[in-house]
Amino acid sequence: MATYFIGDIQGCYDELQAILSQVDFNPSKDELWIVGDMVARGNKSLQTIRYIKSLEGSAKPVLGNHDLHLMALHGKLKRPKPSDQLTSLLNADDIGELVDWLRLQPLLRCHPSKAIVMTHAGIPPQWDIDTVITEANAVHQALINPNYLTYLIADMYTNDIARWTDSMPNKARLIYCINALTRMRYLNADGSLDFDCKLPPESNPDNTLKPWFQFPSMTSNTHTLVFGHWAALMGKVDHPSLQALDTGCCWGEHLTLWHLESNQKITQKKLEKS
């Protein structure tokens, strides 16, 4: 059995198939841990999500911000952007089934035998492993509820809930968790989330902002954190407990696969015609 972790696929289906062919991925015995943002920006989101769903138990995805946004689009809460290339997915006969499968997926996965935890964007440095599990599970329970659209998805589009406190109301806790686990890049000095800057750390002129992983962390001291979301990092994070896997395939760069057992990275360049 081999365990693979893969960065943001974002509809790059042909590149996904190519990188899995490189390692002779066998869903009958191997596992594919997917760091979220399975859809949008690439031109084959429909094929991508159908394939991942077909893998059943061998696929271990978490939700990213684009996956959550797809729920809002399907629920007619938002209008799609042409740049996200989601028309064929939204018009598919099985879109309802695909969205129902998607909302069964968690925001966080913990490896069953190793101290490895995976989310889309990272883990707030002030959260220990028990806290992040508790808060992510609360979001999961809200998403599998039949009223998930009106209770949660309709309210998640806010930048106002950016700082964690233990006394936050339940709805605010859910939205903060979504913001942190699926949107986080930089933090302000007080630990609050910044939602604007996407530059790599070496290019950021604002010295009031620091990447979330440069703060003292209660989780990276005990676990390896696997995340994506931040393509501008291009996988370059100087920390032994971090695995950054978003390497911008949908922007013309490449997909990255981390083979856990050998601790090796495998890459697949964006194909010219996909």
- What pLDDT digit, counting tens, does each position of 90-149 carry? 999 999 999 999 999 999 999 999 999 999 999 999 999 999 999 999 999 999 999 999
CB atoms under 10 Å from CB of 125, counted, come to: 17
Q: How far apart are CA 254 and CA 246, in angstroms?
A: 9
Residue-level pLDDT at 221: 83
Which residues make Cβ contacts (< 8 Å) with residue 273, sequence separation at least 6? none
Output the average pLDDT for the chain: 96
Instruction: Answer positive or negative: Cα dihedral of 247, 185, 9, 62.
Output: positive
- What pLDDT digit, counting tens, does each position of 18-61 carry? 999 999 999 999 999 999 999 999 999 999 999 999 999 999 99
Residue-level pLDDT at 274: 46
Partner residues linked to 193 by β-bridges: 187
Instruction: Report H helices in the chain.
Output: 13-22, 45-54, 65-74, 87-90, 95-102, 129-144, 148-151, 170-183
Q: In the structure, what pLDDT confidence band is assigned to residue 238 with cuts at 50, 70 and 90?
A: confident
Q: Which domains does the chain have, with CATH numbers?
A: 3-269 (3.60.21.10)
| Pairing outcome for strands 242-244 and 224-227 | parallel
Half-sphere exposure for 238 (CA within 13 Å, toward CB): 4
* pLDDT mean over 188-201: 95
Q: In the structure, what pLDDT confidence band is assigned to residue 220 with cuts at 50, 70 and 90?
A: confident
| The CA-based dihedral angle spanning residues 221, 225, 230, 236, taken in that order and rounded to the nearest 10 degrees | 70
